[in-house]
Amino acid sequence: MTTVVRFPLGEIVITGNASRRLATEAVLAGLRRHASGDWGNLCPEDAMANDEALKNGYRLLSVYGDGLHRFWIITEWDRSVTTVLLPEDY
C-alpha cells in the first residue's frame, strides 16, 4: 500500500517517556498516517481545523492509540519538526 505524503515532517523527535512506553511499530504507523492527513482519533471539528491548518501553514496535531498507549504527533507550523509525545509530556 502506497501512502501519499501531504506535507513534510521535518526532523522527527520523540520524548523519552513516549520512547519507553510506545511500540516502534505504532509510532511508525502513526507517523505515516499523520503525514498522509489521517488525523487519527480527533473529533470532527479538530480534524477540520487540521485540514485548514494544512492549507494555511499552521501547526498540526494527530492523536493515535488509546489508554496508556495514547499518543500525540505534532508538526510545527513551518514543518521543521514533528514531535511524538504522550499527553502528559505536553
Q: Give the per-residue pLDDT at 1.
A: 57
Count of CA atoms in the C-beta half-sphere (13 A) of 80 = 2
Domain edges within the chain: 11-89
Q: Of 64, 85, 67, which Cα lies nearest the Cα of 76? A: 85
Q: Of 19, 51, 58, which Cα lies nearest the Cα of 36? A: 51
**21: Cα separation from own chain's centroid:** 16
Q: Give the per-residue pLDDT at 8.
A: 96
Q: Give the per-residue pLDDT at 2.
A: 66
pLDDT along the chain (90 residues), means of 10: 86 97 97 97 96 95 95 98 96
Beta-strand relationship, 60-64 and 11-14:
unpaired
Query: What gap in Å lies between CA 82 and CA 51, rounded to an integer?
Result: 17
